[in-house]
Structure 1
Amino acid sequence: MPPLDQSPWTREGYLSLKGTADIRGAGKVAVNSGALSVGFAVACNTDVTSGVTLGVTGGPTAQMSITYPPALVIGAQVLPNVSTTLRPGTISDVSFGSKKLAAAHAGVELDGVHVKVSGCLGPVAVRAYVSVAISTPLNDNTIHVYGKPHYL
């Protein structure tokens, strides 16, 4: 979708995500606690947050040629310039919600979450993730599941 600010350095979109965790079966060790987290990894290709500088340089010029007949050329020169500092893009994990397990179940569902990235040249990629962490008397375990990248 086109960004609302119409900037070529902004990407904008609406995201949806659903994550659930269920503990099933009879394990050897009871689960003390657990939590579910959902979010998106957001990646910018090239960072241009330093801004853009526009300028003009110019001044008089003179040129003399040794020819017959001798020639002298006087003029003016105007040179526009545009400059910016390009930096490598970044990848940020943005958490959109978490829920503690209750009765061996947790769920988080998001629909139409607005995401905007500014100061980015090139594509912006988003990848959904769901993390489930559980704790037992013997171990702490975390499982991460990632979706396919999508582009804003």
Structure 2
Amino acid sequence: MRLFPFGLLALSLSAALCATTPARADIDTLPPHERTYASTFGSFTVGNRDEFVNRIAPLNMVGTTRESLVSSIAYARVDGIAGGSLKTGYTVGCAVTLQNGNVGAIPQVYVPSATVGQSPTVGIIGPNIQVPMSVNLAPGEVKDVPVADKDLMPGKEVSIVIRDFHITVNSCTGPVAIRQYTYIYVKSAETDDSGAVFGDSTWL
């Protein structure tokens, strides 16, 4: 039976864990998406644009950790007498996770016309930001990470601007995929309606 010297074994293990760590930032520009729906009260439109995924090297320099800064603009318009809400976030999936794998999210989000307040410890901006700081992922599981929501205004376009939203995936030994989503929920006196657009999926 062959025995590896302890130092050589530790070095080999370290190299294996760091093998997939990116050496520098890698920015991916994704295409816009938009859909318009007809409804009993008129019509409504939902879309997303200016989406970027900036893959960055993890601070711990471990190959099972992925980090990225994501940016996008989610928007919606209601043409008719109706209200509702616009919601946006990201779906994150990991093919194979180690024990206690999780997703962390730290937002930099601007909601136009909203009062802005910032906590230096939690890092949440705006009154309608709903971000779980840690989402547990089982092997092969996909989880949604909500970012923000905003009330709709009849006849006007509303938007949610996301800048450098920090997504961290820990203890993932397989590929990590993310995809932006934008949902619109519309309510009138006669009808509750909804629609959605999804960004192109990409990897971390």
- Give the structure-1-normalised TM-score: 0.68
Verify the 8 A CA contact 2:77 2:153 in the aligned structure 1.
Answer: no
Q: 1:39 aligns with which of 89, 105, 119?
A: 89
Q: 2:175 aligns with which of 106, 110, 123?
A: 123
Task: Give unmatched runs, 5+ long, in structure 1.
Answer: 52-86
Q: Distance in 2 between matches of 1:113 and 1:50?
A: 23
Q: Which has the higher helix share?
A: 2
Deviation at 1:38, TM superposition (A): 0.8
The structure, 1 or 2, with the larger RCO (C-alpha pairs under 8 Å, 6+ apart) is 1
Q: 2:199 aligns with which of 130, 147, 151?
A: 147
Deviation at 1:89, TM superposition (A): 2.3
Deviation at 1:50, TM superposition (A): 5.4
Q: Distance in 2 between matches of 1:129 and 1:91?
A: 13
Verify the 8 A CA contact 1:35 1:101 in the aligned structure 2.
Answer: yes
Matching residue of 2:150: 99
Task: Give unmatched runs, 5+ long, in structure 2.
Answer: 1-55, 102-137
Instruction: Among all aligned residue pairs of Structure 1 and Structure 2, give the percentage whose two residues are the same amino acid.
Output: 29
One-letter code aligned to 1:107: S
Verify the 8 A CA contact 1:49 1:120 in the aligned structure 2.
Answer: no
Deviation at 1:6, TM superposition (A): 1.1
Q: Distance in 1 between matches of 2:60 and 2:148?
A: 27
Deviation at 1:40, TM superposition (A): 0.5
One-letter code aligned to 2:61: Q
Matching residue of 1:7: 62
Q: Provide Cα deviations, 1:120-147, integer angstroms capped at 9, x if missing partner.
A: 1111111001111100122211111101
Q: Distance in 1 between matches of 2:147 and 2:68?
A: 15
Q: Distance in 2 between matches of 1:120 and 1:136?
A: 44
Q: Distance in 1 between matches of 2:200 and 2:100?
A: 31
RMSD of aligned C-alpha atoms? 1.7
Matching residue of 2:31: none
Q: Distance in 2 between matches of 1:149 and 1:50?
A: 24
Structure 1 residues 136 and 111: CA distance shift in structure 2, 3 A: same
Which protein shows a greater Rg?
Answer: 1
- Give the structure-2-normalised TM-score: 0.51
Query: For 2:175, what is the secondary structure of its paired residue?
Result: strand
